[in-house]
Amino acid sequence: MSSPVVVAVAPGSAAERAGVAVGDVVATINGKVPRDVIEWRFAADDADVSLEVLRGGLELTLEVAKRAGEPLGAEVSSAVFDRVRTCDNHCEFCFIYQLPKGLRKSLYLKDDDYRLSFLYGNFTTLTRFTEADLERVITERLSPLHVSIHATDPDVRSRMLKNPRGAMSLRWLRALLDHGITVRGQVVLCPGINDGLVFARTLAGVLDEYPELESVAVVPLGLSRFNAEASMRQHTLAEAQAIVATIEAWQQVFLRALGRRMVFAADEYYLMAGLPFPEADTYEGFTMHEDGIGMARTFELEFNGTVASPTGVQSGFFAAVDGAPASGYRAPRNPAGDTGLRADTAGSTPVRLGARPHAPIAILTGEFGARIIEPLVRTLDRDDVRVLPVHNEFFGGNTAVTGLMVGADVARTLAAQPAGHRYLLPDVCLSEGRFLDGTTVEDLPHVVEVVPTDGISLRLALNGKALSSSLS
């Protein structure tokens, strides 16, 4: 078990007044060794917090005088201080198995930890869930949780997880729902395995056994060129169309029975099926935005100015890897300075390096993203804006989402483009300024402007109004 390390202290905070410093290793808080940031935050919320810290080889006791509920003002290094509960399933569709060698070690971590489900929206299969975990979730009201269902048929689920406990672990889902824990479900559909009649039975099982679920996201399996499982393949056009039809039919069943649609298809299915996206009101508040449900519609609403603020943040694959910052999965994707904007020597006027004023603009995006953004750009009637789809050669397969773009593919795309243009890059493909392949925006052949992945930010950037707040 590792101890939390203080990585930031807010100026003027109770922690600063007590002498807490960046780099302090926290041995205990209020006499207790915290297991994770959840316990840390509960303890830090108390009045008069006591910290035992290690600093430069010395053991210090720091008494933090504050009111109950007043922020402590100290942030720690990670979300889990004891060992992350890893996944002991062997799902053939697991994308982590499809990563090439040589990437950052954190990318290969398979977690099945309910704490990261609560903090980050990661999905857990519950195969390693215990009575003690259930007690803690209920006592501390760790809600919502996110559960991978895949199939309600015990035998199918066990085969998909390649784990005999998969046949039984949904009993924990029933227990969570019985105790009022909000749970969001997910089904990854694999052609020939849990689609077709099995999928219909799964939806019937949800209605019969788990009607209290908040929602169920249905997403396609992701296949990279490194996939070694012969049974895994892409959906055909007809299969994608059948899946959308099945989901929309079952939405009506759930509406009649429960008064809500319950099950939703990922935007990718509508793109694969060549079908229009559902109207905005059918997404019932876009509660599954982070899972790729309704992102196209929300992006359209944001881009057109129909809504005043972004719907959510899509953290993509990085939500499950790279350190799980204590601030949660909605934390900013990039540190200051990755915007492609720099201040001049006087420090007053932002200037854009590598681009002329009123230069033509190119929007970098994944191939699926291009199919969403191009129709929106056409409505602007501007001949100075173009969309640059980035073909994902790094992962290959059916990888076409923007969040999995890597620096090598972006660089290859940019290399064929003229200098002096403005190149807009969505921040969803970066984590702490790095692409999945470890490269940075500084490695690209042209300067890019990193823009938040929402329609409002893109619209502002196209109008020349999106400047980094770090430049002020």
What's residue 307's pLDDT? Answer: 87
Q: Position 127: which residue type?
A: T
Instruction: Render each residue's pLDDT in the chain as its tens digit; 472 residues.
Output: 688 999 999 999 999 999 999 999 999 999 999 999 899 988 998 899 999 999 998 999 999 999 988 889 998 988 888 878 889 999 999 988 888 888 877 777 788 899 989 988 889 999 999 999 999 999 999 999 999 999 999 999 999 999 999 999 999 999 999 999 999 999 999 999 999 999 999 999 999 999 999 999 999 999 999 988 889 999 999 999 999 999 999 999 999 999 999 999 999 999 999 999 999 999 999 988 888 899 999 999 999 989 888 876 444 443 433 333 434 433 443 443 334 433 222 333 333 444 566 799 999 999 999 999 999 999 999 999 999 999 999 999 999 999 999 999 999 999 999 999 999 999 999 987 889 999 999 999 999 999 999 999 999 999 886 443 332 2
The answer to whether 99 touches 108, Cβ cutoff 8 Å, is: yes
Instruction: Enumerate the β-bridge partners of residue 403.
Output: none
Structure tokens at 172: 């924990």
The conformational region for residue 259 under phi > 0 = left, psi -120 to 50 = alpha, else beta, is left
Say if residues 346 and 371 touch (Cβ distance below 8 Å).
Answer: no
Q: How many CB atoms lie within 10 A of CB 143?
A: 15
Residue type, 315: S
To the nearest 10 degrees (0 to 180), the angle between helices 455-462 and 295-303 is: 40
| pLDDT at 1 (0 to 100) | 63
Domains with residue ranges and CATH for the chain:
6-76 (2.30.42.10), 96-276 (3.80.30), 341-471 (no CATH)
DSSP conformation letters of 234-249? PPPHHHHHHHHHHHHH
Peptide bond into 144 cis (omega under 30): yes
Q: Which ranges in 13-130 belong to alpha helices (H)?
A: 14-18, 37-44, 114-120
Q: Which pLDDT belongs to residue 68?
A: 87
Model pTM score: 0.85
Q: How far apart are CA 129 and CA 134, in angstroms?
A: 7
267 C-beta neighbours (distance < 10 Å), count: 25
What number of helices (H) and strands (E) belong to the chain? 13, 15
Say how many C-beta atoms besides its own lie within 10 A of residue 450's C-beta: 24
Of the candidates 318, 248, 238, the residue with the CA atom closest to the CA atom of residue 272? 238
pLDDT of residue 312: 60
pLDDT score at 462: 93
Helix (H, G, I), strand (E, B) or coil at 26: strand
- Per-residue DSSP letter, 2: P
Smallest Cα–Cα separation from 426: which of 364, 342, 356?
364
Rounded Cα distance, 413 and 394, in Å: 13
CA distance 275 to 269: 8
